[in-house]
Structure 1
Amino acid sequence: MIARDLMNSEFPYVTADADLDYVAKLLADCGLGAVPVVDDDLSPIGIVTRSNLEQPRIQPLPDLGAIPAFLLRDRPKPIFHANGRALREVMTSPAISISDVAKIPDIARIMESHSLKRIPVVEGHKIIGLLLRKEVTEAMKGGFPAMALEAHRRRPLISISQQNSDRCAVATASEFRELVASHERQLELERTEHRRMATELRDQRIRELACQRLTEAQWRSMLEQARRSAAAGLTEHLLIRFPSQLCVDGGRAINAPDLKWPTTLRGEPADVYRRWRNELHPRGFRIAAQIIDFPEGMPGDAALFLMWSAARN
């Protein structure tokens, strides 16, 4: 068993410029009894416990004798006030730390020789946990069988009330950056899924349109609408609008333009072209095809226009 097996991986820590009142609150909310102090590289440089913050007790007068223990047992502790003191003034420094791969007997000897109740655990130079002497003692006695050790690893290690829960106390800027990155990855996954679903729907729609045929009623309605356009003073009328993907080449011939564009039409647009060629072309009407929008720079919808203006020389 090594330090990583027993360490508390959820713990508060601060830098040396933290307010002492804030550190006192962390100590009050934390069940570990200590708050490590780290530098900008997350290397431990000190540690603060409740004893660091407690003011020296005023000794009773000699003629009064010592205060009985039972009177002190349930006596509420006075509210802490920093009184202008800085964290550097009260923290224990330098901090003694151990490697995450240190063995439990070695840890026990270090804690015993330095009279430590808690010791930071580091990986390289970076702090990754806090180890308590009572847990080391329990492990030395064999009090952590496999199942109990697993439960120990999973248990909540910082007992902070729900009303005062402050996740930022145990977070780092890198963790916040990872949250941002995770959010962006989730958005990209959602955008990818949205594009996939849109593509599937579009392809299904194209397959359906390719199978549709122009009815006589639709053709007569198109001609009637064209007549109304002429009565309104227009010289052309949009007969049918359709996705450019309905063309066998995705609308490239229409966009070029290529004189062979009629051969790329499918479904109703192909029927419209044939009706024009058979019925309207001999009567002087012309027809034109055009891509009428370009979403994201790609050909979108196409349209067939019926025209009756005199051809320009």
Structure 2
Amino acid sequence: MNGYGGTTALIGFEEMNADDNSEFERLFDMSARQFLLQARQDPLRLDALTSSLDDIGTRREFASILTHFPPDQLASRVFRTSMYLRLVLGEHRRLRAQIERGQEAAIKDALEFKRINGDLRREWKFVCAHWHQEVTSALAKANEIKASDQDEVQALKSRYQDQIDALEAEKSELKARVDDAETKVGILKKRLDDSTMDPWTLSAFMQKHADVSGNWDRLHDLFVHCVNGCVPPSAWDTVVNITAMDQRKAPIPAFPESRLAVPVPKPPVSNPVILDLTNPSGIQESKSHSGGKSSQKSLTPKSLKKTKSPKPSSALVLPAF
């Protein structure tokens, strides 16, 4: 190896002979041979080498090589690459010769490996095709189920929303009817409270507009029993004598018998009220079957002031026995 002014080293390498070239052409195309490194018949002299190194074409070739390969031991690597290629071709030629001379075991093994390789390839393709089909079918089914579920969810949402709207409207209507019923109940309670007769009110009225003489306490107890809907005790024996001083000679008619059949009103507080929201009126009263209990108060003359009218028009005599 020329050191080009430096250290000169001796490197031995083997060129490709005719057998190597024939084997190379057997493996590759004949046109590929032109890209192999071919040694010169005679090495260049120093002046020719200097002229070649100054050539622009040579510099471009070296620039292309040095762009991709490092310059360290480049010459040694080129020589040894050519030698290693010759050794590989020789080994391949010997193996081919052994096979051609009848190495049936190697041929059988190669054919068996080839068959196994083909079977594995076919099985691999079949498995890949099968699972590709399974995955595609599963994805299509999943998309179909998803679309169906979405449609069903939308239908349920729409249906339940309609029901919610209907219930809200019904709720508003029922609330309005309840409010109306409560208003009516309040009005009826007020009327009932206003129409309730108070025994003391009656007694005070009698004291102001009539000349009450005798046992006015018994008359008040009768008012209490009347308001409470109770029958006076059987032991009571009361005589009521009413004289109209301004109509002394006026005929006195008999008490109408039809009025005697009118039942005594029950206390209003004992009547429960039931609201029927299905009834447009919103009010239904139930009859009370509970009898009123007699309520007797201890009345004293001091609890009621007796006032006389300056000109009494009637006199009430209440003897008690």
TM-score (norm 1): 0.22
Higher strand share: 1
Query: Highest relative contact order (Cα 8 Å, sep 6+), 1 or 2?
Result: 2
Query: Is the radius of gyration larger for structure 1 or structure 2?
Result: 2
Higher helix share: 2
